[in-house]
Amino acid sequence: NAGVTQTPKFRVLKTGQSMTLLCAQDMNHEYMYWYRQDPGMGLRLIHYSVGEGTTAKGEVPDGYNVSRLKKQNFLLGLESAAPSQTSVYFCASKNGGSSYNEQFFGPGTRLTVL
């Protein structure tokens, strides 16, 4: 099992450009999450999904959109990138149901917006 994978690993954008980050998991998990991690701020939830075709806003959703067309994939879109979106983005997945099930994280995408 590959677990949670993220594409790409690194990306540099210019202000105003758009891009999509792809997260894929092969563990048949119901729940998926997108976080951003900035120095001194910890992990902050951007959007999440509790199943195929469903998405919901997290703590810092502005400037991002998501889609979950297939259970195994969760896409994060930036329509018009801004320097404030320079960050490391982590995707995670979790087996739904019990609270004690942990989240499994992907390796991260390091995004720089110039």
Residues that bind another protein (CB under 8 A): 4, 31, 33, 40-45, 48-50, 56, 58-59, 90, 94, 96, 99-108
Residue among 66, 86, 85 nearest 21 (CA): 66
CB atoms within 10 A of CB 110: 15
Given a contact cutoff of 8 angstroms between Cβ atoms, the answer to whether 85 and 18 are in contact is no
User: Do β-strands 109-113 and 10-13 pair in parallel, antiparallel, or remain unpaired?
Assistant: parallel
Of 44 and 71, the one with the shorter C-beta distance to another protein is: 44
Given a contact cutoff of 8 angstroms between Cβ atoms, the answer to whether 45 and 59 are in contact is yes
Of 53 and 96, the one with the shorter C-beta distance to another protein is: 96
Nearest distance, CB of residue 35 and another protein, angstroms: 8
Nearest distance, CB of residue 79 and another protein, angstroms: 24
Q: Phi-psi region for residue 59, left (φ > 0), alpha (ψ -120 to 50) or beta? A: alpha
Nearest distance, CB of residue 1 and another protein, angstroms: 15
Of 14 and 62, the one with the shorter C-beta distance to another protein is: 62
Of 28 and 42, the one with the shorter C-beta distance to another protein is: 42
Nearest distance, CB of residue 40 and another protein, angstroms: 6
